[in-house]
Amino acid sequence: MTAQEWDSQVLEWSRHYDVIQWTITGISFASTGALFGFCWATEGIPYYVFLFGMALPVLGHIYAASFRNLRRKVHERLNDRRYLELIRANPGYHTWGLAAALHTMLFSGWLALTYDRFPLLRCLLALLASVGYGILLLYFVFADQQPS
């Protein structure tokens, strides 16, 4: 396999992981938002549905960040460094920060709704809030780490 064929294949894998990352992000937003809207409008839903709803944006963010990081590792396999420079010097939209902010907002909405509906869980929610925000921040940073 020539270097050019190798780079073409590497770029194809990069596109593949990018599509997976944004598909997961979209599914995460849609499912979390739909469940949130349903729980917000309906009374009498058990607390564990709310806790599951809090976990959805965090899990969606973890999976999306993992594919973003995997894509960065694939970029390091390029032979032609001009591709890598082009990828890193991308002047376009930086949507990863927006996706992380939306995951954080969805988590915050679930936290507020659960706090309002289940007063007996407030101590647990304080712990879950710090853990959830910590995970969201760590995976936001992890996704953009350069491979070593």
- DSSP one-letter string for 64-113: HHHHHHHHHHHHTT-SSHHHHHHHHT--S--HHHHHHHHHHHHHHHHHHH
Domain membership flag for residue 130: yes
148 is a domain residue: no
Distance CA 26, CA 114 (A): 23
* Amino acid type, 78: L
Q: What is the pTM of this model?
A: 0.87
From CA 140, how far away is CA 97, in angstroms rounded?
A: 8
Quote the domain boundaries for residue 128: 3-143
Give the pLDDT score at 59: 96
Does residue 46 sit within a domain? yes
pLDDT in tens, the chain (148 residues): 788 888 888 889 988 999 999 999 999 999 999 999 999 999 999 999 999 999 999 999 999 999 988 888 888 887 777 776 766 666 566 788 899 999 999 999 999 999 999 999 999 999 999 999 999 999 999 887 766 6
Comparing CA positions, the residue from 51, 27, 28, 29 lying closest to residue 39 is 51
Q: How many CB atoms lie within 10 A of CB 12?
A: 11
Name the domain count of the chain: 1
